[in-house]
Amino acid sequence: MVGIIMGSSSDLSVMQDAIDICQSFGVAYEVDIVSAHRTPVKMLQYAQTAKERGVKVIIAGAGGAAHLPGMVASATILPVIGVPVKSSNSIDGWDSVLSILQMPNGVPVATVALNASKNAGILAIQMLAIADEALAHKLETYKQELVEKVAEMSQQTKSNWK
Amino acid sequence: MVGIIMGSSSDLSVMQDAIDICQSFGVAYEVDIVSAHRTPVKMLQYAQTAKERGVKVIIAGAGGAAHLPGMVASATILPVIGVPVKSSNSIDGWDSVLSILQMPNGVPVATVALNASKNAGILAIQMLAIADEALAHKLETYKQELVEKVAEMSQQTKSNWK
Amino acid sequence: MVGIIMGSSSDLSVMQDAIDICQSFGVAYEVDIVSAHRTPVKMLQYAQTAKERGVKVIIAGAGGAAHLPGMVASATILPVIGVPVKSSNSIDGWDSVLSILQMPNGVPVATVALNASKNAGILAIQMLAIADEALAHKLETYKQELVEKVAEMSQQTKSNWK
Amino acid sequence: MVGIIMGSSSDLSVMQDAIDICQSFGVAYEVDIVSAHRTPVKMLQYAQTAKERGVKVIIAGAGGAAHLPGMVASATILPVIGVPVKSSNSIDGWDSVLSILQMPNGVPVATVALNASKNAGILAIQMLAIADEALAHKLETYKQELVEKVAEMSQQTKSNWK
Amino acid sequence: MVGIIMGSSSDLSVMQDAIDICQSFGVAYEVDIVSAHRTPVKMLQYAQTAKERGVKVIIAGAGGAAHLPGMVASATILPVIGVPVKSSNSIDGWDSVLSILQMPNGVPVATVALNASKNAGILAIQMLAIADEALAHKLETYKQELVEKVAEMSQQTKSNWK
Amino acid sequence: MVGIIMGSSSDLSVMQDAIDICQSFGVAYEVDIVSAHRTPVKMLQYAQTAKERGVKVIIAGAGGAAHLPGMVASATILPVIGVPVKSSNSIDGWDSVLSILQMPNGVPVATVALNASKNAGILAIQMLAIADEALAHKLETYKQELVEKVAEMSQQTKSNWK
Amino acid sequence: MVGIIMGSSSDLSVMQDAIDICQSFGVAYEVDIVSAHRTPVKMLQYAQTAKERGVKVIIAGAGGAAHLPGMVASATILPVIGVPVKSSNSIDGWDSVLSILQMPNGVPVATVALNASKNAGILAIQMLAIADEALAHKLETYKQELVEKVAEMSQQTKSNWK
Amino acid sequence: MVGIIMGSSSDLSVMQDAIDICQSFGVAYEVDIVSAHRTPVKMLQYAQTAKERGVKVIIAGAGGAAHLPGMVASATILPVIGVPVKSSNSIDGWDSVLSILQMPNGVPVATVALNASKNAGILAIQMLAIADEALAHKLETYKQELVEKVAEMSQQTKSNWK
C-alpha cells in the first residue's frame, strides 16, 4: 500500500496525479491530511505506525517551509517521496524545493520536481516493482506508451512541416 | 529561562553567541542538542514540556532543510526564534533561511539573519523585557554602548582622514 | 498594546491579518502609516516613543528595499516583527525578505514569511503571553483549533477516497 | 545489488559514502564510471541491461548540467536515485540540483541533497528493505544509533553548560 | 539543412520562430519531436545519423531538466544550439537554462536566451554562412533591417516628444 | 538637458515616468530610441556627442542582457542612470538588474530599482540640482509632499481603526 | 565636497577606493562612520546637515540588510550613491545589493556594483563635473588612460601569441 | 581563423583553454585584449573588420556585466561564442551568465558554461567543421578519445571495487 499524505486539502489538486497513478497501476493506497506544523503528534503517529499498517512507501506533498516529508522520514524506515508544492505565498517554489531536498545525513527524502506528484506516484510504483515482477511488467508497458505518444506527435509534426 | 537548542554539537560554534548574550544579560538558559530528524520524539517532548520547565523563549539553530525551529514551534505556544545556520553542504544558506522563514499560517518562527545567533539572543532578551523593566533597562544600556562604539570608530576614522 | 505599522496604505490588504489576530485575541493595537523613506523623522519618533505610549511589540510590514522594520528596531528596545510584503516591482519577494532578515549584529528583527502578517500577529501574541497566562491559554485553544481543522479535512478526505 | 555510477572518477570522493553505506548494510553493489555526455551509448546500455544483471536500484552522481541520473532513468524501470554533485565550475550547485530534480512527467529521479551520497545509499537500502525484513531490521538499528549519537552529544553539551 | 527538434509538440509555439527564420532565409530544415527522456534510443539515433542525413546544425528546445540539447550533442560532432523553454512547472526558467548551459568540458551546447528560438535560428544561419557567402549577404541585409526598424521607432518617438 | 533613451519603443510605458518627472520639474529633456545591439554605431555616436549637444545626464532603460546603459557610459563622461526593465522573456528581472549593475571598475552606471524610471528621473534632477539652487528648492518641496501624502494616509488609516 | 560614510570601520578596506578616487581627482571629501542601525539619530542628522556643510554628493557603503544609503537618501535632496558591501554573513551579496537597489518611488539611490566603491567615486566625480569643466576635463583624461592601459595589454598579449 | 578576445589580460588564465583547443586542432587563431567598456571604439572596429580579416568565428570572454560578446555580435554577422568568466566581485557568476545569455531577438550569442573556454574552443571547431571534412574527422577522433578516457577510468574504478 502507498500512503499519500499532504498538509492541507488545498494540496489535493496537485496531489491527485499520485492517486491516479496508483489507481491506474492497480496499487492500493490511502489518502490523508497530515500537517507537520498543525498536527505534529498525529504526524509522528502516522509515520511510526505506517509500516505496521501495511504501508510500503509514503508520498508526502507540502509547500513553503515544507517539513512534512522530512519529518515523516524521521520517524519511519519506509522510503519517503517528497513532492514540493508551489503554494500561494511561496518564493517561486524555492522554499518548498529546498526544505524537502536538503535533508541531513541519515534521513533521506526522495525528492521529485516541483508539483510533480505524478512522478512521485511512478517512483513509488518503481520501488514496489523491485520485488513485484507483475508491477515491473506494467512499468515496461507504461514506458512503451511514452515512446508511442512521442511517435504519434512526431508523425503529426513531420506531416505538418513537409 | 531561555531554551537554546541545536541539531548537532557542530552548530555550537555558531550558537555560542546566543549563550553569551544570555550570560551577559544575566538571564538563565539551558543548552541542549535536539535533532528534528534524528530524535523527533525527544524534539516533540522538548517542545511540549518547555513551558512547564520554565522556559519562556526558545532559540533553535539548524542548517540545510532546517526543520527544528518550525517543528518545535508546532508543539509549543512559546515564541520560537530560528537561527539559519550555513552548514557545509548548504546551498549558500538559502536552504536554511527558507526552511525556517517560510512557515505556514498559524505557526510562526521569528527568523533572524544567517548565522545570527547573537541577534537571536538579543531578540529573546527583548521578548523577556516586555514584562521585566530591569531587563529593559539593560537593553537601553546595550543600545547606548552600540552608539558609543560607533562614536569611537568615527573619532578614529576622522582623525585618520584629516 | 501591539503597534502595527506599514509604509503605505496599499500594504493594508496584506497587513489586515495581523490586525484581525489582535482583535480575535482581544489584544489592544494601534495602526499607522509610517514610511522609513518618505517620513524618516516621524518613523524615528514613532519608534522612540512607542514604549512610553504603551506599545509592547511592533509589527512592521514593508516591501522592496524594506527598511521600515530594521529602522524601527534601531530606535527602540521593543521586539520588532518584520513582515516582508511582495510589492508590485519586487524581484519575486527576495528584496523584501533579505532587506528585513539580514540585520547586523545588535539590532534583530523577528522576520516572518513573505506576506505572512497573520503569523506576525500570532508571534506578537506569543511574546505578550510570556507574562500573561490568560493569553497563553487562548494560544493553547488556538493551537487546538488548528488540530481540529486538520481532523475535519482528514475526515472528509478519507471519506472521499474510501 | 545496487548500481553506483558517476560521470568521472573525480566524483568518487563524493560518491564514496554511498559505497560505504552499502558495505555497512551488507548489500551487494557495483561501481562504474559512466558518462552521459562522453559515453552516451555505454550509458544507455548500462541502463538497459541493469535489471537483467541483477541491479535493483541505481545511484547516479553528477555535477553541472547533470544528465546522468535522468538519462539512466529514461532507459530503465528501476528506481534511480540522483546525487547532485557540486563540481568545480558549478554555479553554487544550483545547476546540478535543478538538472537532476526537475524531470518531466513520466520519468522520475529520486533526488537527494547536494553531495548527499550517504543519503542516496540509505534511500537505496530503504527501497530494498520494502521486501526484505532483515534489511528493514538493520535500518531500525541504524535509526536507533542516530538517536544514541544525539543523546551522547546532548549529555556532553549539557555537562559543559551546567 | 537545419535539424529542429523538441521534446514535445507543446514546445512548438516557442520553437516556431526558429522555423520561421529558416524559411525567411531560404534554408532547408527538418522538424521532429524527439524526447531525451521518453525516447532515448530514438534520440541517440537522431543525433548519430544527423550528419549523414545532411543536417549541418541542430537546434534543440527543451524545458525543466532539459537534457535534449546536451544529449544530442553527446552523440554528434555537429554544433548543437540549445533553446531553454520556460515550461509550466519550471522554476522560473532557471532549470531549463542551467540544464542546457552548464555542459561539461568536451561537449558544448551553444545556448541562447530563455524561449529565444528566433535567435537559435539566426545563430544557425550564421554558422552556415561561415562557408556560404550568399547566406552571409542575407545576414548583412537582415542586420541592416534591424537598424532601419530602430530608425523608424526613433523617428516616431522623437516626433511624439517634440 | 536630460537625455532619455531606451532600446525599443515597447519600453516607453516603463520609461514614461522619467519623462513625467522632467516635465514636472521643468527640466528640458530629449527622448530617443537607441539600441545597443541593433544600432551600435548610432548608440556610440549618441553617447559621444551627448555632452556637446547640451545633455548633462543620461537615463537609459533596457531589459534582458541590458547593455545600453553600460555601453553609453563607456563613451561619455556624463553620469549615466540605468533603469533595469523587466521585459517579457526576462528571468524575473535578474538579467536586467545584473547586466546594468555589475559594471567593471572605471565605468560606473547609477542603477535604480527594477522598472523604477520615476526614481531615475528624480536622481537626474538631484544631479542637476548640485549646481542649481532653484532646482534644489523644488526637490525640497517634492520631499515635503511625500511627507504630506503619508500624513494623509496616516490620518485616514487611524480614523478607520479607531 | 564628497561625503563618504560607512556603517563600520571594517568596511574601510572596501571603501578605500572611493577615497582614493577623490584624492586623485583633487576633490575634497570627508570620511565618517555612520550606522543606520546603531546610530539612527546621528545618521539622520548627518543626512539633514550634509548640504549645509558643503557636501554635494554622498557615497554610502553597507552590507547585509544595508539600510544606510536608502535612509540617508530619505533625509537629504543630495544624490546618494550606494555601495553594496559583501559582508561576512552576507548571502552571496544578494542582501546588500537588493537592500540598496530596490528603493521605492520618490527616494532613489544610485547603486553601483558589489564592492565597487571605486566606481562610486568616479560616479561622484561625474556628478560634480556636470557643472565643473575642469573636472570634466580630468574625466576625459581618465577615460583616455583606460584606453591606453588596454592598448598596452593588447600589445603584450599579441606579442605573446605571435 | 578564430578570433579570441577578452576584456582584460587577467582573463587569460580562463581563456587559455580556447587557445589550446585551436592549437591542438591545428586551426589558426588571433588573440587580443578588447574591452567593451574601456575601448568601445576599438571593440566595434574589431567586430566590423573581423570578417574581412579572415576571422570566421569569434570567441569572447568577459565577467560581471559582461557586454563584450553581445556588443561584438551587434557589429558582425560572424557567429560569436560567449564565455561567462567568474570574476572576483561577481555575484556567483550569475551576472556574467545572464549578461551574455539573455540577448534580445535578432542578435544571438552562443553562450557556453561558466569559465568553459574549452567548450568555446570546441564549439568554434564544430562550426568550422560544417564545411571542412578534415576538421570534422578530427572532431570524431576527439569524441572517440573522450570515450576511451572514460573506459580507462571505468577499468580502474572497477578493479578498485572488485
Element (H, E) at F24: helix F12-25
The answer to whether C28 contacts chain F (CB < 8 Å) is no
Smallest Cβ–Cβ distance between D116 and the set B32, B42, B89 belongs to B89
Residue B62: alpha-carbon gap to chain centroid: 10
Rg for chain H (alpha carbons), in Å? 17
CB contact under 8 Å between B71 and A40, yes or no, is yes
Phi and psi, residue A7, nearest 5°? -80, -20
At residue G55 the predicted structure's pLDDT band, cuts being 50, 70 and 90, is very high
Residue F95 annotated as part of some ligand binding site: no
End-to-end CA distance of chain F: 49
The answer to whether B149 contacts chain D (CB < 8 Å) is no
CA D105 to chain A, closest CA, distance in angstroms equals: 6
Residue D140 has pLDDT above 70, yes or no: yes
Angle at E9 between CA E4 and CA E10, to 5 degrees: 115
**In chain C, which residues have their Cβ closer than 8 Å to the Cβ of A92?**
92
Establish whether chain A is in contact with chain D, requiring a minimum of 3 CB pairs below 8 angstroms. Answer: yes
Q: Which residues pair with C60 in a beta bridge?
A: C5, C82
Look at the domain B2-131 and name its fold.
Rossmann fold (3.40.50)
Rounded to 10 degrees, the C-alpha dihedral F65/F71/F74/F80 comes to -90
In chain A, the residue whose alpha carbon lies closest to the alpha carbon of E39 is A147
Quote the CA–CA distance of G76 and H124 in Å, as a whole number: 54
**Among B42-46, B91-95, F60-64, G20-24, whose mean pLDDT is lowest?**
B91-95
Contacting chains of D (3 CB pairs or more, <8 Å) are A, B, E, H
User: For F52-89, how does the pLDDT look when each residue is reduced to its tens digit (9 = 90+)?
Assistant: 999 999 999 999 999 999 999 999 999 999 999 998 88
Determine contact, residues D92/A83, Cβ cutoff 8 Å: no
Smallest Cβ–Cβ distance between A31 and the set C114, C116, C157 belongs to C157
Number of other CB atoms surrounding residue F161 within 10 Å: 13
Size of interface A-C (CB pairs under 8 A): 48
DSSP 8-class letter at D104: P
**In chain B, which residues have their Cβ closer than 8 Å to the Cβ of G12?**
157
H-helix segments, E6-93: 12-25, 40-50, 68-74
The count of C-alpha atoms lying within 13 angstroms of the C-alpha of A120, restricted to the half-sphere facing its C-beta, is 35
Q: How far is CA B144 from CA A157, G40, G41, in A?
A: 73, 12, 12
Establish whether chain G is in contact with chain A, requiring a minimum of 3 CB pairs below 8 angstroms. Answer: no
Residue D17 annotated as part of some ligand binding site: no
Per-residue b or e along A28-47, where b marks 16 or more CB atoms closer than 10 Å to that residue's CB? ebbbbbbbbbbbbebbbebb
Best of F91, F99, F114 to disrupt the H interface by mutation (most H CBs within 10 Å)? F99
Percentage of residues in chain B having pLDDT higher than 90: 93
CB contact under 8 Å between A150 and E42, yes or no, is yes
Please state, rounded to an integer, the average pLDDT across all residues of chain G: 96
Report which residue type is found at G156. Answer: Q
CA F101 to chain H, closest CA, distance in angstroms equals: 7
**Total residue length of chain D:** 162
Q: Which residues pair with H80 in a beta bridge?
A: H58
CA E42 to chain F, closest CA, distance in angstroms equals: 31
CB contact under 8 Å between B146 and G31, yes or no, is no
Closest CA to H120 of H8, H36, H18, H50: H18
Sheet of E110-111: strand order equals E29-33, E2-6, E57-63, E80-85, E110-111, H110-111, H80-85, H57-63, H2-6, H29-33
At residue A162 the predicted structure's pLDDT band, cuts being 50, 70 and 90, is low
- Determine the pLDDT at residue G160: 83
Rg for chain G (alpha carbons), in Å? 17
Residue F161 has pLDDT above 80, yes or no: no
Closest CA to E162 of F32, B51, C75: F32
Residue F133 has pLDDT above 80, yes or no: yes
Sheet of D110-111: strand order equals A29-33, A2-6, A57-63, A80-85, A110-111, D110-111, D80-85, D57-63, D2-6, D29-33
Rounded to 10 degrees, the C-alpha dihedral B3/B9/B13/B16 comes to 20
- Determine the pLDDT at residue G131: 97
Quote the CA–CA distance of A33 and A46 in Å, as a whole number: 10
Residue E51: alpha-carbon gap to chain centroid: 17
Determine contact, residues C128/C56, Cβ cutoff 8 Å: yes
Rg for chain A (alpha carbons), in Å? 17
DSSP 8-class letter at E19: H
Which residue spans within D77-153 are E strands per DSSP?
Answer: 80-85, 110-111
Residue H160 has pLDDT above 90, yes or no: no
**In chain B, which residues have their Cβ closer than 8 Å to the Cβ of C102?**
113-114
Establish whether chain E is in contact with chain H, requiring a minimum of 3 CB pairs below 8 angstroms. Answer: yes
Element (H, E) at D58: strand D57-63
In chain G, the residue whose alpha carbon lies closest to the alpha carbon of C38 is G74
When pLDDT is averaged across residues B100-104 and rounded to a whole number, the result is 98
Quote the CA–CA distance of B104 and B126 in Å, as a whole number: 24
* Cell numbers 511627507: residue: F147
- Determine the pLDDT at residue C87: 87
The answer to whether D1 contacts chain H (CB < 8 Å) is no
Domain ranges of chain C: 2-131, 138-162
Quote the CA–CA distance of D25 and D136 in Å, as a whole number: 10
**In chain D, which residues have their Cβ closer than 8 Å to the Cβ of E74?**
36-38, 40
The answer to whether B140 contacts chain G (CB < 8 Å) is no
Cell numbers describing residue H81: 561564442
Longest dimension (CA), chain D: 62
Q: Which residues contact G99 (CB under 8 A, 6 or more apart)?
A: C65, C67, C95, C98, C99, C102, G62, G64, G65, G66, G67, G70, G84
**In chain B, which residues have their Cβ closer than 8 Å to the Cβ of G89?**
86, 113-116
Number of other CB atoms surrounding residue D138 within 10 Å: 18
The answer to whether B140 contacts chain C (CB < 8 Å) is yes
Percentage of residues in chain F having pLDDT higher than 70: 99
Report which residue type is found at F152. Answer: E
Cell numbers describing residue B52: 512547564
Cell numbers describing residue C123: 508571534
CB contact under 8 Å between H147 and D34, yes or no, is no
- Determine the pLDDT at residue E162: 66
User: For H59-96, how does the pLDDT look when each residue is reduced to its tens digit (9 = 90+)?
Assistant: 999 999 999 999 999 999 999 999 999 988 889 899 99
Determine contact, residues C76/G39, Cβ cutoff 8 Å: no
In chain C, the residue whose alpha carbon lies closest to the alpha carbon of F14 is C89
Report which residue type is found at E148. Answer: E
DSSP 8-class letter at B104: P
Cell numbers describing residue A92: 517561486
Give the residue ranges of the annotated binding site of H for substrate. Answer: 8, 11, 38
> Collapsing DSSP states into helix, strand and coil, what is residue E162?
coil
The answer to whether H106 contacts chain E (CB < 8 Å) is yes
CB contact under 8 Å between C101 and G90, yes or no, is no
CB contact under 8 Å between F92 and E97, yes or no, is no
Q: Which residues pair with E4 in a beta bridge?
A: E31, E59
At residue G30 the predicted structure's pLDDT band, cuts being 50, 70 and 90, is very high
When pLDDT is averaged across residues G53-82 and rounded to a whole number, the result is 98
**Total residue length of chain B:** 162
In chain D, the residue whose alpha carbon lies closest to the alpha carbon of H116 is D89
CA B133 to chain C, closest CA, distance in angstroms equals: 11
Quote the CA–CA distance of C112 and C60 in Å, as a whole number: 11
What is the DSSP annotation of H142-160? HHHHHHHHHHHHHHHHHHH
When pLDDT is averaged across residues A48-52 and rounded to a whole number, the result is 98
Best of D119, D125, D141, D150 to disrupt the A interface by mutation (most A CBs within 10 Å)? D119
In chain H, the residue whose alpha carbon lies closest to the alpha carbon of G157 is H32
CA C33 to chain B, closest CA, distance in angstroms equals: 23
The answer to whether H89 contacts chain G (CB < 8 Å) is yes
Q: How far is CA D38 from CA A96, B100, D11, E73, H145, in A?
A: 34, 40, 15, 10, 9
**In chain C, which residues have their Cβ closer than 8 Å to the Cβ of F93?**
91
CB contact under 8 Å between G147 and H65, yes or no, is no
User: For D75-130, how does the pLDDT look when each residue is reduced to its tens digit (9 = 90+)?
Assistant: 999 999 999 999 888 898 999 999 999 999 999 999 999 999 999 999 999 999 99
Quote the CA–CA distance of E14 and E9 in Å, as a whole number: 10
Angle at F2 between CA F1 and CA F7, to 5 degrees: 140
State whether the Cα torsion G123-G124-G130-G133 is positive or negative. negative
Rg for chain F (alpha carbons), in Å? 17
When pLDDT is averaged across residues H104-115 and rounded to a whole number, the result is 98
Cell numbers describing residue F143: 520631499
Smallest Cβ–Cβ distance between D98 and the set E38, E95, E103 belongs to E95
Cell numbers describing residue E151: 530608425
pTM, to two decimals: 0.97
CB contact under 8 Å between B32 and D97, yes or no, is no
At residue G21 the predicted structure's pLDDT band, cuts being 50, 70 and 90, is very high
State whether the Cα torsion D80-D81-D87-D89 is positive or negative. positive
Quote the CA–CA distance of C7 and C68 in Å, as a whole number: 7
CB contact under 8 Å between G89 and B94, yes or no, is no
The answer to whether C50 contacts chain F (CB < 8 Å) is no
Query: D11-17, long-range: CB within 8 Å, 24+ apart, which pairs?
Result: D11/D61, D11/D62, D11/D63, D11/D85, D11/D87, D12/H157, D14/D61, D14/D83, D14/D85, D14/D115, D14/D117, D15/D59, D15/D61, D15/D83, D15/D85, D15/D117, D16/D117, D17/D117, D17/D118, D17/D120, D17/D121
The answer to whether D27 contacts chain H (CB < 8 Å) is no
Q: Which residues contact A141 (CB under 8 A, 6 or more apart)?
A: none
Smallest Cβ–Cβ distance between B154 and the set G19, G32, G64 belongs to G32
pLDDT by residue, tens only, chain E of 162 residues: 999 999 999 999 999 999 999 999 999 999 999 999 999 999 999 999 999 999 999 999 999 999 999 999 999 999 999 999 998 888 989 999 999 999 999 999 999 999 999 999 999 999 999 999 999 999 999 999 999 999 999 999 988 876
Q: Which residues pair with G81 in a beta bridge?
A: G59, G110
